[in-house]
Amino acid sequence: MAKIRKAVVPVAGLGTRMLPGAKVVPKELLNVVDRPILSYIVEEGRAAGIEHFVFVTGRNKSAIEDYFDHQVELEEQLRAKKKDSLLAELLKDLPEAGSMSFVRQMQPKGLGHAVWCARDIIGNEPFAVMLPDMIMDADVPALKQAVSAHEATNGSNIIVVEEMAQSQLHQYGVVALSKQDGRCNPMTGMVEKPQPGTAPSNLIVSGRYILNPEIFDLLSDQAAGAGGEIQLTDAMARLMASQSFHALQYEGVTYDCGDKIGLLRANVALALKHPQLAATAREAVTSLL
């Protein structure tokens, strides 16, 4: 069974839910406590064994590429001032040369189209998809849980899911299961943003996937779906006709950082867990309440 070595990270979105904050700064680089959202995503990927990240970008997202590169003047100033711990924090996000690629989506055609844009770099091997809006806080990283499920199911496609209130299911992709026994179960279908009252379960697709490369052939001719966009969910539903899919209800907590209140929740929750800032963060939050 092929190892999961590569991850697609779609970062071309306009971040309209985060305006005006995301007007100049890409939403993926907005801070959560002391580092950008993307730092958490890459850290999770590395912990799951990802060796190469493919960022699917768009116009005005060049700051993402700059973040994962050296800033020589700043680094030299930190060295000169003996700020070694701060320099180490700055350098830990930097990739090995050649371990990140950046491709342009060119037009906002949806998540399915964004994933398809990475096809030539991924090649003919299973890969991960990591949505950068979602910080998934877990003792065992969410993507690592997904990789383990992929191996345990002999190479099945894996969709990481979590429970959601019935009133909010129409905002997400929702999976259908043949049975529900434990945390990893075979899927029979999925639907993107179902009409209220029609969702096949209360389990939503939550931002991490392990997919086999045959998905690219289906994405190449996938018709536009919900919102007039090429939906990854639709192509996965087609692939399910010939390959197995499992839904993994992961153990952890998701923070939707593409939403203003979600970003606030992430900042508070992760500040309260921060090894250096937890005590003072708790005092600050308590005083405000």
CA distances from 212 to 15, 50, 175, 185, 247 (A): 28, 15, 18, 18, 15
CA distances from 210 to 30, 138, 158, 246, 248 (A): 26, 18, 5, 10, 11
User: Residues 269, 270, 272, 274: what is their CA dihedral angle, to the nearest 10 degrees?
Assistant: 170
Summarize pLDDT for 44-86 with one digit per residue, the tens. Answer: 999 999 999 999 999 888 999 999 999 899 999 999 998 998 8
Residue 266 confidence (pLDDT): 96
Q: Is 100 left (phi over 0), alpha (psi -120 to 50) or beta?
A: beta
Residue 224 confidence (pLDDT): 78
21: confidence class by pLDDT, cuts 50, 70, 90: confident
Summarize pLDDT for 28-48 with one digit per residue, the tens. Answer: 999 999 999 999 999 999 999
The CATH architecture that domain 6-288 belongs to is Alpha-Beta Complex (3.90)
134: confidence class by pLDDT, cuts 50, 70, 90: very high
Average pLDDT over residues 181-207: 89
179: confidence class by pLDDT, cuts 50, 70, 90: confident
Question: Could you give the 3-state DSSP secondary structure of residue 165?
Answer: coil
Residue 24 has pLDDT above 90, yes or no: no
The residue whose two tokens read 């994933």 is 115
Mean pLDDT, the chain, integer = 92
CB 2 within 8 A of CB 13: no
Residue 23 has pLDDT above 90, yes or no: no
Rg value, the chain, Cα: 19
193: confidence class by pLDDT, cuts 50, 70, 90: confident
Q: Quote the DSSP letter at residue 206.
A: E
260: confidence class by pLDDT, cuts 50, 70, 90: very high
Domain spans in the chain, listed from the N-terminal domain onward: 6-288
CB 6 within 8 A of CB 129: no
Residue 93 confidence (pLDDT): 86
Summarize pLDDT for 159-168 with one digit per residue, the tens. Answer: 999 999 988 8
Does the predicted model carry a pTM greater than 0.85? yes
CA distances from 80 to 75, 76, 77, 84, 88 (A): 9, 6, 5, 9, 14
Residue 67 confidence (pLDDT): 92
